[in-house]
Every structure is written in structure tokens, then in C-alpha cells.
Amino acid sequence: MEMNLYPEKGDQGKSIKGTGLVHLCYGQGVGKTSRCVGLAVRAAGAGYKVHWVQFMKEGGSSETNSFALLPNISYQCPGKHPFISKSGPGPVHIEHARKALEMARDAVQAGCDVLILDEILNTLLFSILEPRHVLELISLCRGRCELVLSGADTPAEILEQADYATEFVMRKHPYNQGQDARKGIEF
């Protein structure tokens, strides 16, 4: 008997089409992106089209290598994103967020089932994007695709619109004892 590893939406009554729920993964703790990766892998394994857009990163995190190996996951990053200095965001940061926002809108229009916007909430912390931009994306996704947003914090108006909200709290981390971030573990 042939096993169908990627069933069509609607098989076994497991269609997410038309729900368009909003997931928030936020907080000062580690694991937000990893949680998003887990959701992406699960959804792709169920046959859903997953689109991942990375905000405020330059695309060098290890999870991006895995996406190329997995069917049903597409990935986009607008390019280089230097750290934001004490003087605040510059034109390169604003342009990066603008392009990523456009990629997100295009993915919804193209019919993705799950849209993951990694670190988009951090654009709000640095006033690169405004909450209205995220609220517009939430409206665009409602009834069309699941929307997953991650970052360090979330404004009340975004939290209010969420169907799922998980706050990650750091209790202990080797970084505080001088341990550098390790490729494949922290990034």
C-alpha cells in the first residue's frame, strides 16, 4: 500500500484553509524561532504550503539550511541586516523591513497556508514598522492563512488580535556567564 506523506488539504478532515488564526511567539527567552521552525515542519509535513519571511536578520541562521531540504517550505530574507547601533535604525533597516513586509503580503496573495514572520515584532520595538502594518497583515490573513509572528515583545493591540500568545521567559542562559552563541544551537 502506497503511503501519501503529503496529503492534499482536506484529507482526513484536517484542512486549515479558512481559519486564518494568529500565533504570537514573544518574550525575552530563547526558543521563539525554534518554536516557529517546529510549526513550519509540522505544517509542511501535513502538506500545507508554508512561507517564512525573516525580519531583522540576514539569513545566516542554521534553520534556513533545513528549509531548502523540506518540501512545502519557502523562505525569503531581504538580505543583509546589520545590528542596530545605539543611534537607532538607519535606512538599511527601514528598507529591509519594507521589503520583508512586501514579501509577506505577496505570499498571502500567492495562497500560502501558513505565513511565518520571524522577528517582525522587533521592528515595532525599534519603530521601524508601526503596529498598523502588522494589524493590516492580520486582517489580510484572517480567513486565508495561519499567521505566526515572533519577536521580543508585542504591543497590546497586536496581543488582543492573537488567537495564540506564548511568552518566552528566560530563567537561565549560558550567555550570561560569557558563553558565545553556538551555530546550530542558538543560531
Query: Which domains are seen in the chain, by residue range?
Result: 16-177 (3.40.50.300)
**More confidently predicted of 187 and 76:** 76
Average pLDDT in the 34-57 region?
Answer: 96
**More confidently predicted of 5 and 138:** 138
Distance CA 112, CA 129 (A): 23
Dihedral sign, Cα of residue 31, residue 75, residue 19, residue 142: positive
Residues with Cβ within 8 Å of 73's Cβ and at least 6 positions away in sequence, in order, are 40, 41, 44, 50, 51, 52, 67
pLDDT tier at 80 (50, 70, 90 boundaries)?
A: confident
Q: Provide the pLDDT for residue 5.
A: 32
Q: Provide the pLDDT for residue 83.
A: 85
Give this prediction's pTM: 0.87
pLDDT at residue 10 tops 60: no
What percentage of residues in the chain have a pLDDT greater than 70?
A: 90
Q: Beta-carbon neighbour count of residue 96 at 10 Å?
A: 24
Q: Provide the pLDDT for residue 85.
A: 86
Closest CA to 175 of 164, 159, 186: 186
pLDDT at residue 176 tops 90: no
Half-sphere exposure of 109 (CA within 13 A, CB side): 6
Class of residue 160 by CB neighbours under 10 A (exposed 0-12, middle 13-18, buried 19+): exposed
pLDDT digits 0-9 by tens, 83-108 = 888 889 999 999 999 999 999 999 99
* Maximal C-alpha separation, the chain: 62
Distance CA 168, CA 187 (A): 17
